[in-house]
Every structure is written in C-alpha cells, then in structure tokens.
Amino acid sequence: MNAFRKITLPLAAVEDLVTQILVTSGASKPNAAATAAALVAAQVDGQAGHGLSRVASYAAQVRSGKINGQAQPELRFTRTASLRIDAHGGFAYPALDLAIATLTTLTRDTGVAAAGIFNSHHIGQAGRTVERLAEHGLVAMVVSNTPRAMAIHGGVQPKLGTNPLAFAAPIPGRAPLVIDLALSLVARAKIVAAQKAGKPIPPDWAIDSEGNPATDATAALGGALLPAGGAKGSALALMLEILCGALAGGHFGWQATSFLDDQGPSPGVGQMLVAFAVDAFSGPEFGSRMTELCNELAAESGVRLPGERRLAGRDRARTDGLVLDGPTHAMLMSLRST
C-alpha cells in the first residue's frame, strides 16, 4: 500500500476492527471493546503513542499471555469511600471503566472517594479517565506508574517510570478542563525518532549509562530519561510511585516489565484515582468560579487553555471519520487477517 495514501473510516468501524483483532488474539469481547474504545479515543485526540500504534503490541501480549485477555477486574471495598481493584494481569482499561462507574455514584454520597488499581497495565491516555469523571460533574485526578525509564534526581540508573498524571474539572457550558502530563522532560519516543534520523538530542533530555548528559540518542537510550523540572519533577515522580506502588499495590517501576513487548510476565503496575463532588466543598459557587478562572486566563493574548485543539479534532472525527495513514491501515488489516 502507498505509504502516503490516507484512509478515512467511521469511528465505530475502527473500534470494531481493533476489537476484532484483540478478540482473535485471545481477549474477551468486553475487554477487547473497552481497550479498542480507549485506543481510538487517544488516536482521535492526537495521542498516537497511546492510540492505534499499540494494537500490534497489545495483540502480541495477549497471545503470549503477558496480558490476561480473559481477566475480569475484581472490586473490593476497603472503607465506605475507598476501593481496591485487582486487574488480574489484564488490560488497564476494563479496570479503569469499573473504577469510573463506581466512583461516579459513590462520590455523590461520600464527597470524596478513591480507587486503587493493581496488577494492571498501560493506562494509555490518562486524561480520558479523569475527563469521563468530570463529565459527571466531578473533579478528578488519576496517576499511574510505569516501567522504569527515568533516573531520580542525582542518580544514574533508570528506577522510576515516566509516571503520568492527569486532572480534570467540569466547566459549565463546555467540555471539562483536562490537564494530562508525564514527568519526564521528553517522551522516549522523541529520542527513538532522533536515533532513527541520526540526529543529536539536547543535553537536558537524558543521561548515558555513566550519568553524563547525552547528546547521542543511542547513548541516551542506554541510559535514563531526565525528569521535567529537575529535582522537583523527580520528587513528584517519586510521589506517584508511592501512590501507585506502595499504596495501590502495583509493582514499582524497576520491577515492571515493558508495556511494549511480549516478553515476561504482566507489568503489574498500579493506578490511583481520586474523585471530588463539588457540592461537598464550594457547592453552587464552583461552576461560576471555574468560568471566572478560565475566562481570566484565556483573555490574555497567546494563552490557550489545555484541550482546545483536542476538542476540535474530536468534532472533525465525529463528522468526517478517523483519518489513518497508509502504514497504520495496512498494519490493522494485516493483524485482522492473522
């Protein structure tokens, strides 16, 4: 297929295709459908690294048993407003769906509620999780740890993951405000791209295996990513490691296997979700306060609130379909036929 040829498909058709691939690989229909919905949503939002590029890897991991495609997440209440969910080595998305459904109802009664997930996998587009809670009028935060890739400040060895954090809050009359970030200065994918292109990288992106600033991409990939914000970003990544590993019960970053290959056991990482009912705190004033905040910030020339570009892309995809480049479409077709 011509690598430059683009294919446009309805969103439902792409979800059905990904679901079919994962079911054929050994996943249950509910698990496959939940995962497909998350991957397509990430692709629509321009988060290709959490989108369809993951399908081949996920399918291979289901086939090898690294992902338990038949897992059914198991929920247990530990207190009135706290729960633990065992993902049983399966995809993270069904466990996240279960947490969202439970917190949406529970938080209205308790004011604040939290869910810890363990024995889990890649959270994907973390912002999607909290946005779904915010669409129900809740303020929400989710954190996840990931396999080791980043050195703690002052260290050399990769011990911590890039550890994403996402936060969302509802705003009257518009989509929720969503903040979604990882704690390394740059994504590892940027260094891989520089390696393939034979280009140097800035010295503040990563260190080599001896702890020296790396401008050579190959040396950087053999070393460790650096945290955003230096010591402050490193401390924040450590906080997330505590929440997701020590508290939720997931593997620590240096214990987790890769999300990207089919080797070894489940990564077994953790996630922590916290939701707040706004009427338990500022009550009816919350909506007007959020509007005031966003209007004040957006009034300055050059300021764009997080998520505005993402929302425009969603509108296009709902109306026109999802545009796939030639290699992505060919990859999906190949996986469907295997």
Question: Token digits for 280?
Answer: 């338990």
Cβ proximity of 238 and 148 under 8 Å: no
Q: Does domain 6-67+317-337 have CATH number 3.40.50.720?
A: no
The CATH 3.30.60.50 portion of the chain extends over: 185-226
pLDDT surpasses 70 at 170: yes
From 1-10, 62-71, 268-277, the region with the lowest mean pLDDT = 1-10
Question: Cβ contacts of residue 132 below 8 Å, gap of 6+?
Answer: 100
How are beta strands 269-277 and 224-225 bridged, if at all?
unpaired
What is the DSSP secondary structure assignment for residue 230, as one 8-state letter? T
Burial 167-206 (b: 16+ CB within 10 A, else e): bbbbbeeebbbbbbbbbbbbebebbeebbeeeeebeeebb
Per-residue pLDDT at 310: 83
pLDDT in tens, 179-216: 999 999 988 778 887 898 899 999 999 999 999 999 99
126-147 pLDDT, tens digit per residue, is 999 999 999 999 999 999 999 9
pLDDT reading at 99 higher than 80:
yes
Q: Rounded mean pLDDT of 251-270? A: 97
Asked if the model's pLDDT at residue 3 lies above 70, the reply is no
Phi, psi at 277, each rounded to 5°: -85, 125
Candidate from 192-196, 263-267, 328-332, 333-337 with smallest mean pLDDT: 192-196
Residue 211's alpha-carbon distances to 5, 98, 205, 241, 253, in angstroms, are 43, 42, 12, 22, 19
Indicate where the chain has its CATH 1.10.1530.10 domain(s): 6-67+317-337
Supply the pLDDT for residue 166. Answer: 97
Ranges assigned E (strand) in 69-122 = 74-79, 82-86, 112-120
Q: Which of 274, 273, 269 is nearest to 122 (CA)?
A: 269
Q: Is 63 helix (H, G, I), strand (E, B) or coil?
A: helix
User: What single string gives the DSSP state of each residue in 276-330?
Assistant: EEGGGTTTTHHHHHHHHHHHHHHTSTT---TTHHHHHHHHHHHHH-EEEEHHHHH
CATH topology of domain 185-226: Wheat Germ Agglutinin (Isolectin 2); domain 1 (3.30.60)
Reduced to 3 states (helix: H, G, I; strand: E, B; else coil), residue 180 is strand
Strand-pair category, 82-86 with 165-171: unpaired
Question: CA 82, CA 106: separation in Å to the nearest integer?
Answer: 9
Per-residue pLDDT reduced to its tens digit, 228-251:
999 999 999 999 999 999 999 999
Please compute Rg for the chain using Cα positions.
20
Residue 253 near residue 148 (C-beta atoms within 8 A): yes
